[in-house]
Structure 1
Amino acid sequence: MNHDSPSASKPAALAGIKVLDLSRVLAGPWCTQMLADLGADVIKVERPVAGDDTRHWGPPFRQDDAGQDTREAAYFTACNRNKRSITVDMAHPEGQALLRSMAAQADVVVENFKVGGLRQYGLDYDSLIALNPRLVYCSITGFGQDGPYAERAGYDLMVQAMCGLMSVTGHADGEPGGGPLKAGVAVIDVFTGLYASNAILAALNARHSTGQGQYIDMALLDVGMAVLANQAAGFLSTGQTPGRAGNVHPSLAPYQDFVTLDGNVLLAIGNDGQFARFCAAIDQPQWAQDARFASNTARVQHRGELLARMEPLLKTRSTAAWIALFEDKAVPCGPINTVAQAFDDPQVQARGLRIEWPRTDGDRLPPVAGVANPMRLSGTPVVYHRAPPALGQHTEEVLQEMGLDAARITALRTAQAI
């Protein structure tokens, strides 16, 4: 799939929604990219010269046609497609006035400054809601707008540690490589972006009946606690603190990776029917009749005895051979891919999950590659119409839409307000 996909010509779900994006790094930009993918007009406001921090978070950097690193960090491209970038100095009075004018015409503002950080610029919720009562204003912070940690800076890694996620991720103490681990992706930032976009869509829908916008207080710590999901539910139900178990599921068996003749294979058996089919496929149907293994609860209780039987057997064939054996028998099984192998997977390719946009800002860089949005709406599909923008690429375009003429824009540049 590319930017010229048929979805680009169909109506967008959020067409007509204007978003003023004052956020940086990942959680806020992930939220606004979601809105942009759904068709909202997202104006990304960046600092003159420096821009969003993630423009410089490399390596890895994008490469030019000769295979040489540029100074454009790949990180930025992950969460800023479909947006227009303008540069405004919000510390400058004229920059503040510009942003207030934009907020007065916007449907949504998203920001992730520290608590109260935008009040000095007249860009806080109370100031902007007075100009635009229909405004939906979303603040994203590490710890929320109140509580003893409200003034603290919050980062994904810190919250992964504080919320307990790292305590249930990684191998158990005493095992090789044992100890708490962070996830390989900044999952709290990404989940916060997703929760924030959901909250914004809810607020926009509520506005249809009330005519009023509202304030949304999103906190990384709140999200971190929420996404503990079954681990939190287990603790709250029993009072027992869950621990790390590597790739083993605490409530399902067999649901983990196994060593094969040439690597590893992942089995994700989630019910008794799947286990019976697994046993039949490996010519051990009696396992499914054994009282120790006949039900999932019994298999979890007798996990060690089951693994003692499974592990030697699974070492007798290659990963590909096991996958081939199970794939037509409704036994969930798969490889443990690298990222490169995942993009080479035929199902990933068939679903068009790698997308590209040509660059149009004259920088002669190769097309920007990205990952497709996984939401597939039949009537109002996701749109891919803009590559992640160059810094300030759309400043003049946006200001002209606001009614500023060339002389006024030049004056703002001379004053270093933009």
Structure 2
Amino acid sequence: MRRGPLSHLTIIDASRVRAGPTAVRLFADMGARVIKLEIPRGAPGGDDMIGGRAHNRADYENLHRSKESLTLNMKEEEGRKILNALVKDADVFVENFRPDVKYRLGIGPEALQAVNPRLVYASISGFGQDGPYANWPGFDSIAQGMGGLMSITGKPGEGPMRVGIPIADLCAGHFCAMGILTALLERAVSGKGRWVHTSLLEAQIAMLDFQAAQYLVDRKVPVSNGNEHPLTVPTGVFVTSDGYLNIAAIGQTMWVRLCKALGLESLIEKPGFRSESERVANRAEVNAAVGEAFKSRGTADWTEALLKAGVPCGPIYNVNQVFEDEQVRHLGIAWPLNLPQLGEVSVVGQPFHLSGYDQKNEISPAPEQGEQTDTILSALGYTAKRIAELRSNHIV
């Protein structure tokens, strides 16, 4: 029996790779029953893409925890019949096929909402549900490039740079989850489901935020600034005697505090350094002046001194150092999970907390392919003999 604030919901997850499963993971972590649809063994396609268990088991466990797995061939009429039986009592259906595929299969929003008018149907695509690029295959790195992110990432003059995480995929998943929750809240009043859809391209553009606003409002095309903030100086990464330090001396007050902490009070009123706009215009000179001072002490010493002075700063970690940090440990974002093959490991938890609900105690390992197929079909009224026939015909 699932517990949690969303345990009253049933989600049918027909998505693959990352964006869709990211959206659905939120619901699984919050206690919803999630039935993950997978292509049966022997049927064309299969679980061989990035995000599949064969590609990266660690990633798969992190992405698909707390779900059930039903193998189902939706290309066949009998498979669609099973899907419709599931949809009758489901709350949400999630897919990330190319836009035309769901209609060719006969499982578009109109078809499934005819079976269950309360169903919230959610779609994630690469470039939108219609338009000139609608049927282009969508991948994170392509959306990063076409969404403008790569043009403002990396050091100036070194060309476009992909961000080190699949940020378009992840944000599309989070935005999709937000849309689903909005539709569910409305359904509580209207009694009817909605079709929620987003795309990697839209999600990536939305995440440009103030960089997009610079163009849309002021017609200023932003460029890459490396580790520095494009609108304020000094910010970014500075070399210390034993590593690196990240600082964010944003605005005049922070600038004065930084200069005093560094023992460089003379810079406060130095011509060309006096105002934010002057410092941005003389970025290289400002960074050189403060950067030389940082080399005299270690990162931990400077962190302590700057925080005491009220200047935002912090060390720069690699991933293992992230999870060794005392504040990260205190936050508990690494959730323990006991895997049959590996024993006790950890997965990345949700970055929010609900009072009275300890999410990390409710998760379970990702299912093996088709692990719950017999159980789910039995609950729908299928006999063991009929299930065996469906399996032999690669329907499940």
- TM above 0.5, one fold? yes
The question of whether the paired residues in 2 share the 8 Å contact of 1:288 and 1:294 is answered with yes
- Shift in Å at residue 289 of structure 1? 4.3
For 1:213 and 1:271, how far apart are their aligned partners in 2?
Answer: 47
Which residue pairs with 1:169 in the alignment? 153
Say which SS state the counterpart of residue 118 (structure 1) adopts. Answer: helix
Q: Which amino acid in the other structure matches residue 382 of structure 1? A: Q
Taking structure 1 as the reference length, what is the TM-score of the superposition? Answer: 0.88
- Shift in Å at residue 192 of structure 1? 0.2
- Shift in Å at residue 335 of structure 1? 1.5
Moved more, 73-82 or 400-409: 400-409
Q: Render the CA deviation track for 1:186-232: whole Å, top value 9, x for unaligned.
A: 00000000000000000000111111101112111111111110110
- Shift in Å at residue 56 of structure 1? 5.0
Kindly report structure 1 stretches of 4+ aligned residues shifted beyond 6 Å.
Answer: none
Moved more, 222-231 or 318-327: 318-327
Report the RMSD for the aligned CA atoms in angstroms: 2.0
Q: 1:261 aligns with which of 232, 237, 241?
A: 241
Q: Render the CA deviation track for 1:278-331: whole Å, top value 9, x for unaligned.
A: 222222234334464444334323323311211111112222221232233322
For 2:89 and 2:48, how far apart are their aligned partners in 1?
Answer: 23
For 2:87 and 2:174, how far apart are their aligned partners in 1?
Answer: 22
Say which SS state the counterpart of residue 358 (structure 1) adopts. Answer: strand
Say which SS state the counterpart of residue 370 (structure 1) adopts. Answer: strand
Q: 1:28 aligns with which of 20, 24, 28?
A: 20
1:222 aligns with 2:202: yes
Which residue pairs with 2:99 in the alignment? 115
Q: 2:116 aligns with which of 132, 141, 145?
A: 132
Which residue pairs with 1:51 in the alignment? 47
For 1:57 and 1:188, how far apart are their aligned partners in 2?
Answer: 23
1:387 aligns with 2:365: yes
In structure 2, stretches of 5+ residues that fail to align are none
Taking structure 2 as the reference length, what is the TM-score of the superposition? Answer: 0.92
The question of whether the paired residues in 2 share the 8 Å contact of 1:249 and 1:255 is answered with yes
Q: Render the CA deviation track for 1:340-392: whole Å, top value 9, x for unaligned.
A: 111111111111122221135xxx33334211111111145535321222222
CA gap of 1:186–1:57, structure 2 versus 1, over 3 A, is farther
Q: Which amino acid in the other structure matches residue 9 of structure 2? A: I
Q: 1:366 aligns with which of 336, 343, 347?
A: 343
For 2:330 and 2:260, how far apart are their aligned partners in 1?
Answer: 31
Which residue pairs with 1:16 in the alignment? 8
Which residue pairs with 1:250 in the alignment? 230
Q: Render the CA deviation track for 1:234-279: whole Å, top value 9, x for unaligned.
A: 1112212111111111012211101122221111222333332222
For 2:105 and 2:217, how far apart are their aligned partners in 1?
Answer: 47
- Shift in Å at residue 29 of structure 1? 0.3
Say which SS state the counterpart of residue 390 (structure 1) adopts. Answer: coil
The question of whether the paired residues in 1 share the 8 Å contact of 2:47 and 2:54 is answered with no
For 1:409 and 1:330, how far apart are their aligned partners in 2?
Answer: 66
Structure 2 matches for 1:8-407, cutoff 5 A? Answer: 12-49=4-41, 50-51=46-47, 53=49, 54-55=51-52, 58=55, 61=56, 73-173=57-157, 178-290=158-270, 292-360=272-340, 364-380=341-357, 382=359, 384-407=362-385
Which residue pairs with 1:68 in the alignment? none
Q: Which has the higher contact order (CA 8 A, sep 6+)?
A: 1
Moved more, 234-243 or 23-32: 234-243
Identity of aligned residues (%): 36
In structure 1, stretches of 5+ residues that fail to align are 1-7, 62-72
Say which SS state the counterpart of residue 12 (structure 2) adopts. Answer: strand
Q: Which amino acid in the other structure matches residue 60 of structure 2? A: F
The question of whether the paired residues in 2 share the 8 Å contact of 1:141 and 1:218 is answered with yes
The question of whether the paired residues in 1 share the 8 Å contact of 2:48 and 2:54 is answered with no
For 1:405 and 1:277, how far apart are their aligned partners in 2?
Answer: 74
Aligned length in residues: 390
CA gap of 1:78–1:271, structure 2 versus 1, over 3 A, is farther
Q: Render the CA deviation track for 1:27-74: whole Å, top value 9, x for unaligned.
A: 00000001211221111111123336322564xx5xxxxxxxxxxx32
The question of whether the paired residues in 2 share the 8 Å contact of 1:192 and 1:220 is answered with yes
The question of whether the paired residues in 2 share the 8 Å contact of 1:80 and 1:388 is answered with yes
For 1:271 and 1:392, how far apart are their aligned partners in 2?
Answer: 56
- Shift in Å at residue 138 of structure 1? 0.7
